[in-house]
Amino acid sequence: MKNPTPTIIVRFSAMLVAVIILIALIVLKIFIFQNLDWRLIILIPFLVFAAGYFIFYYAIEIFIYRKIKLIYKLIYDTKSPQKSKTKKTELKNNIIDDVESEVLEWTKDKKKEIKKLKKLGSYRKEFLGNVFHELKTPVFNIQGYLETLIDGGINDENINMKFLQKADKNVNRIIKIVDDLQMISNLEDGSFPLTKEKFDIYMLAAELLESLEIRSKSKNISLKFKEGCEKSFFVMADREMIHQVLNNLITNSIKYGNEDGNTQLGLYDMNENILIEVSDNGIGIAHNHLPRIFERFYRVDKGRSREQGGSGLGLSIVKHIIEAHHQTINVRSTPGVGSTFGFTLKKA
């Protein structure tokens, strides 16, 4: 018999003992006690069967069932407490198979959990390493400028002001990193209140294009709307935050854009949402970097990013802001051709 249930095992064992007793009684009657009553020979194995059945049943109940219950308690207490209450251990069912499959499932869950924790652990380590690395450079720079000034540079008219300004620039860089990290952390734990209002995303984008014109002129990059997109599109969102999102995306398109390039803004009506796209014909991003560019401190070309005053936190903030609005952001890019960042906002 394949996979017998505990009840079948109990029945079979009791029956086996009863049959052995029956055979023994028959042998006894034939060879020793010839006057033994046949009714007794039938009754005794029957009683043995009944008693054996209960003894085996309770033995299994006490030794196996309770141990199994303990296993369930252990795995479900740490997995899902509700399930342990509803779970009934029936001796009529194939309990060993049930336990085996549940323990296997539990082991799989635990393995997944451990993998996740390990990933989180290494992510945390990498994150701390990045914070340390990003802050180390400006702190050492400041230390260098101050030491030079203390060692007499303060009286040297040629360098004193220049070094103080450089120290100040580094202090500002530290403040920017700390502020950005604070903002990401607040957005992550939901303690950054969104003030949603109805506003015209076209107007906001037009204002931004104007304010970034000086910056784009330095690389002779043209900033404009795509054809047919120069009209009002009302959205329901936190205006200030979306200002930051657009500012980061357009600034990036200039930072990583080519001389004489162009950045175009597209606004599209998508039934419930408005899709906003920022496209450039800049350096582009290689396929293998794309899944990671929204991570904190992730930069494709660290040197180029630092040169532009970047810390690798901009896109992470952008993603957090869009996700706080329960919307999505995506990127399409080809090295040497350009990039398009698109995000959605709820239509007002």
What are residue 279's phi and psi, to 5 degrees? -115, 140
CA distance to 188, 294, 323, per residue, from 316 (Å): 11, 5, 11
The residue (of 84 and 258) whose beta carbon lies closer to ligand ADP is 258
By CB under 6 A, tell whether 200 contacts ligand ADP: no
Q: Which of 75, 91, 241, 315 touches ligand ADP by CB under 6 A?
A: 315
By CB under 6 A, tell whether 283 contacts ligand ADP: yes
Q: Which of 216, 262, 264, 305 touches ligand ADP by CB under 6 A?
A: 305
Q: Which of 301, 323, 342, 346 touches ligand ADP by CB under 6 A?
A: 301
Residue 197 pairs in a beta bridge with 237
Residue 247 pairs in a beta bridge with none
CA distance to 108, 109, 342, per residue, from 70 (Å): 19, 19, 53
The residue (of 7 and 253) whose beta carbon lies closer to ligand ADP is 253
Alpha-carbon span 210 to 215, nearest angstrom: 10
By CB under 6 A, tell whether 300 contacts ligand ADP: yes
The residue (of 7 and 251) whose beta carbon lies closer to ligand ADP is 251
Max distance between CA atoms of the chain, in angstroms, equals 132
- Tokens 């050492």 — which residue? 140
Q: Which stretch binds ligand ADP (CB under 6 A): 27-35, 163-171, 204-212, 277-285?
A: 277-285
Q: Which stretch binds ligand ADP (CB under 6 A): 123-131, 158-166, 226-234, 304-312?
A: 304-312
Distance of CA 61 to the CA centre of its chain: 43
Q: How far is the CB of 133 from ligand ADP (least distance, A)?
A: 14
Buried b / exposed e along 212-240 (16+ C-beta atoms within 10 A): beeebeeeebebebeeebeeebebebbbe
Using CB under 6 A as the binding criterion, the count of chain residues that bind ligand ADP stands at 24
What are residue 234's phi and psi, to 5 degrees? -90, 130
The residue (of 163 and 256) whose beta carbon lies closer to ligand ADP is 256
Alpha-carbon span 148 to 142, nearest angstrom: 10
By CB under 6 A, tell whether 282 contacts ligand ADP: yes
x/- track of binding to ligand ADP for residues 10-39 (CB under 6 A): ------------------------------
Q: Which of 94, 216, 253, 327 touches ligand ADP by CB under 6 A?
A: 253
The residue (of 6 and 312) whose beta carbon lies closer to ligand ADP is 312
The residue (of 6 and 282) whose beta carbon lies closer to ligand ADP is 282
Alpha-carbon span 222 to 263, nearest angstrom: 6
CA distance to 49, 242, 264, 328, per residue, from 317 (Å): 75, 11, 22, 13
Alpha-carbon span 267 to 234, nearest angstrom: 11
By CB under 6 A, tell whether 6 contacts ligand ADP: no
By CB under 6 A, tell whether 280 contacts ligand ADP: yes
Q: Which stretch binds ligand ADP (CB under 6 A): 12-20, 39-47, 268-276, 310-318?
A: 310-318
Which residue lies nearest ligand ADP, judged by its C-beta? 310
Alpha-carbon span 242 to 248, nearest angstrom: 10
The residue (of 52 and 338) whose beta carbon lies closer to ligand ADP is 338
Other beta carbons within 10 Å of 323:
15
Within residues 329-348, the interface with ligand ADP by CB under 6 A covers 339
Q: How far is the CB of 119 from ligand ADP (least distance, A)?
A: 21
One-letter amino acid identity for 197?
E
Instruction: Tell me which residues touch ligand ADP (CB under 6 A).
Output: 248, 252-253, 255-256, 280, 282-285, 293, 298-301, 305, 310-316, 339
